[in-house]
Chain A
Amino acid sequence: MSEYVVAGCGIIGLYTTFHLLDRGIDPKKITVLAQHFPGDESINYASPYAGGDFSCITDDDPKTLFYDQYTYTNLKKIQKALGGPACGLDRYTSTEYWDIKPSKEKIDSLASYLDEYKVISPAKYPKGVQYGIQFKSWNFNCPYFLLNLKVYLENNGVKFEKTILTHITQAFISSHTKIIFNCTGLGSHSLGGVNDSNVYPTRGQVVVVKAPHITENVMRWGDDYATYIIKRPYSNDQLILGGYMQKDNWTADTFKDETEDIISRTTKLFPKIIDKNPNGDKLEILRVVAGLRPSRHGGVRIEKEVVGHNKFVVHNYGASGYGYQAGFGMAYDAVRLALINDTKF
């Protein structure tokens, strides 16, 4: 009876719910409360607009490296549960370049678990690149994957209720509710009882094009820019081109000059987009969209807070642009915290 409530139905909330089931929690004891569900669109609902794939976007602090590794290695479990790659989770080769060579910790970590990992020889680097690797990634058809994940959880008995929370304690919907998982992402900035002023959006814009001839990912991380090409699985040949990392930019508007800049950068990074395009140099743009990555100064916040007598909130937000690739590891940590027993042996 709603012993566990997950607030927020983005990728973080869904990963958290999946992990609760993984830990053996009875799905009937779980309720997900959210303003937006998969299928909805809103600038306040970041998850559908993500790239998305597993990338080297993340920092090299130990926790984040762990979250990445955990997610990467355990996604196959989710894929299997959802019936295979057709759920919108498939694997393609990724080539990633850095203008500034990443730290040893980051490199060592990636090398230790990425499949089909290899370092690209410097002779092949684009001009200005200091380091490049190739590996087998995970690709998400984000809106579709979210929906399938929700359906899976629902079929297993998890309840989903559409709610707008103005204060986190409103999520204690039943006298039996003991733990709330706060997976509200950007919402934690202004949600009563949380009011995390460290939360801020990092705006991105992407251009979705038709590209049946591209079946891989290419990325380049610059000092103040990110250029990426991400194949969207089971999407009728959609390819995601991006992007931008605009801190503290709250606008949902999209801009023509940004679109042009994205196409310019991505086709320069990966000329095959145009060279092998069945339509010649006419690239069919299906959609242009902006999303607000739920970032946080100090990184993700995963901690347990006492808010009332036998009432706890486990915060799990701030995943910025790596919710899909690190979120399952974050869920592991959040659920671990939630389930720790008070008593110490």
Chain B
Amino acid sequence: MCMCRCSSVLFVSSAVGLALERLIMCASVKYGSRGPALIPRMKTKHRIYYITLFSVVLLGLIATGMFQFWPHSIESSAEWSLDRRSVHDAPLVRIPMSSPIPERGDLSCRMHTCFDVYRCGYNPKNKIKVFIYPLQRFVDEVGVPISSTGLSREYNDLLSAISDSDFYTDDVTRACLFIPSIDVLNQNSLRIRETAQALAMLPRWDKGMNHLLFNMLPGGPPDYNTALDVPRDRALLAGGGFSTWTYRQGYDVSIPVYSPLSAEVDLPERQPGPRRYFILSSQTAIHREYRVELERLKEENGEALLLLDKCSNLSQDLASVRKRCYKGQVYDYPQILQESSFCVVLRGARLGQATLSDVLQAGCVPVIMADSYILPFSEVLDWKRASVVIPEEKLPEMYTILKSIPHRQVEEMQRQARWFWEAYFSSMKAIGMTTLQIINDRIYPYAARTYEEWNNPSVVKWSSVNSPLFLPLIPPRSPGFTAVVLTYDRIESLFRVITEISKVPSLAKLLVVWNNQNKSPPEESLWPKVTVPLKVVRTKENKLSNRFFPFDEIETEAVLAIDDDIIMLTSDELQFGYEVWREFPDRLVGYPGRLHLWDHEMGKWKYESEWTNEVSMVLTGAAFYHKYFNYLYTYKMPGDIKNWVDAHMNCEDIAMNFLVANITGKAPIKVTPRKKFKCPECTAIDGLSLDQTHMVERSECINKFASVFGTMPLKVVEHRADPVLYKDDFPEKLKSFPNIGSL
């Protein structure tokens, strides 16, 4: 009683509020447009208006508060009733005999002809919105349902998965894709004509535009067409068992036939490797011509093949589905699939077979022999890495063909098969989400998932490296490099560095990063005279990461990071470093090399700066690298490494080495022989490195970074780069880089 009154009050007040609000809106818009000059001219007679306005506003606020407070109980009661819903509560819809029938699917339909892309709109998330029609029970004029199954368990699972996903919208006006709740998964249980009529009766049908139907078992005896026979206008079809004749490439989606065993049987993943049997055939309804051929193969190759059939001696009940027999011996299905390297998936009456799903689940490599079959999700999945497709005609050669596959490839395919099942076959949800993602990718192709995202199992995604600079390019010499000198207050040393670097022929520009906020850089006239442009950038904070900032002033792709105390590198050495960088533009190319080592006693990583035979890092106190890595360091450094480095004022070079090695999978290149990186009047990197506490700190950095990256990306190499004729018995003046390695 109370609730009822409150809601009626609420209704009145909100209605009044709304009405007034509109009035005010109009008023304020009007005044707003004329500007503030009008306000002073207002007369006192308006005062009453304002008072009323104020009170109404107050009232409105109270009303809103109540509105916000009460509805919870109303909604929760509605949800409570929801939980007990039954399919039989769904409204009954009678289809008149004369109700229109959609046209048969148009084979020439493509996304650009039969799909209304305007409904999907342009949105920043690049995600389509999917609407599901509420469940209705369609019956014909005499009350017979259009389907013998009604809503199946699987279709219900599919729809609730979609409804729980990001794709779902309950707002029919915002939807881009419509999914009828009429279950057409299995054509056998459908009355074709009536189903078609029911589809056409859907409120937004509009010639099937943007409608998606899911069908796994198309066709019926005796012809078994490869696509759903229900006339469906322009509706998209996600079908299991398409052939190249019925599949509209880029429009339909080929989906797997869901195997109910997926949910019932738990097959643990097996390590890839050789199995007891080489080839296994487990299908029961193989055409007798093919069975004869399989048996001939069995005769030739004996134990390697296992040909199973249904068990004739067992009673035909539910349990018999999970048994297979060979000469009276009973095997458990699908467990037996795990005992074979290859499993045959032959054309049945239909092209799509639920067996495929079982085989993949067992991590057995499917041998698919069904000519013109469009493999599930073939638009995005690379089946050549997970299966062997053999023309039916070559069935007799199957054994030889499979034997020719290297065993490592078999293992690779076993792993891939299992991964396909887990990601795309294992549940109706997986099938539904994959289908929607494929359609989504077509509508927003520029934001589509990549081949790697679709096809690489997480193990491979983790270990594989896709360098962002993958094109083999040796950039021309002419743009040269930009030297970025990080400095704080060692002006004298800085000027010497600048003078030295300016002698390098390929230097294009000098950029001094002035990291001292308390002191201004020296006047322009005091700087050494150099032939290339020299630019000083003043930073806001004294951070080490400033040296790796992708300044707009860096116009070359090659960057030479150099400390303000590195005066011992000769012009030949620097020029040669640049030449080496050109041959390896995706690597760090530097002078002093360092190594990380595993300390077995302490059980952690250790930093090493001694004379070692190996190198895994180069110090960025003097190193060439691609400007891209500046961008990466500044914006894509994983975890808190960047802040950590700035806080500790150390290890920015180690962080850079980690970053580059992690993304490219490649080791840095140390150039030219080791020299004493010590200048007479300053403490250089080496000087510092010798300090014990410094070493401990550097080791800590390595351990910290390794834990952030979750792996040790650094790669160890045993080589360094020298000029071709380095130390060769050859006249020095004929060498390009004679002045190398002299201390």
Do A and B belong to a common assembly? no
